[in-house]
Chains A and B, each alone.
Chain A
């Protein structure tokens, strides 16, 4: 998913100006995918350059606004994108993972603390997303709301996986440490070198 295809999809529904596009985007993305005006306008520039959208102005002097329409080429591009499954698996570039890799084996307690705090942050975030879902469920249903609900679900499933992974890390690191310690004791040498392995 990219801002590009998000904007093409919104313009396929109806022509809109930049301000409306930002609002429509926020409405669908449920406020948890933050896209700023800078990203919206730089994407618009690219879409214009590629001939996927055109522009015209509306309003009088002083309050003139540029309205964007999708072109036939843009519709084709959007449909092609829509019909194809995403081949990319989410890349593993988790900041926590990088920290983990650099921290280990220096400070086991600090790592476990980091993992616990990270897990708590994810849980708090999940609770926040769940609250949004619950509020949404109390309004009358529409197609856009269903889509927002599904996006919130996606965020929740991903966060859930992150929480599980963090718990898994904790369990494995703790087990690994205790095995290392036992081995070190057996060799009657407890030294930092023993933990590198």
Chain B
């Protein structure tokens, strides 16, 4: 190899090194039509699999709030001829862990297993049964329903739960994101509601699969094909309607707690929004950057009004909330609320200072490796990319996209997405 060729190959090595900020993600479809994203990583003898269905709470039929969560709970409590004890026992025997949950958009089923053949094969067999042959047994339905009611009744005595429920209801009036389960709605659920919900939303067309860890592409393809082979084809879930923006409103709810809980926010941005990087970078300076954010400095450091104060964007299929949250001694709730509104108003008017923007970029770009330094974190990111159909180079281009953001873009993006005339405020407790 002559010197020029060496230089060129070095140049390409450097360039590709820069372009490849994230892990190498591979994408394909199973024979059953399920989208699969895969990251091969042999550094540990672990395999993680996550299957997401478009079966979140936003899909619940009117009057059936609670059915999404109960359905997800039931899918692994008996499947493929095994009862719930057999499933849990066999998983424990090989040290595998099945977990998951439900949010507004997604119902997730995750499996973590060791990669040795004798450990992972039984675990995959169980996951396959859970995906395609769940029993959804009546006995477990009755019991889990009662447990959900107990847990929810307890949660509804807590100021943070009351605040959160009232907040979502006020942000999303007449929209599925604003509906929430109550002890009454769960109690009224019938076993047939779970069967119907499962039949409607747990199909190949509504699924995406993410696989990370100690297996080859070939093995991952075979695994994904096998896991999803028993899924009914189904049809894609209909689009969730976009929410309309609420009128600015302030809700006060009495509570005897020593602290008042404050939430401010509105529906703001969806996944894949072109403003996402400007919003995320700006939010770092406002209230996302932990100890160095403006809200933290003003509310906590200068005045000692709260232990924790934060702001964030939660992008969903449809615009998810921008949210500011804090808790403060009940006698000073109004002072803290006034201050928080001032900090927000100032930020909306002027955007971040040059120094703040620089600090935000330094951290968001510099900390990028920390977002991807475990298989677990890689899985979460890859599953999110797959479920929401984000571009495969989303992670690779993340540092570059943050780096491009200007102060004016932050100000303009916040002006578009965080409009004070639609800002909802909820205060639980206080005097």
Are the chains A and B members of one assembly?
Answer: no
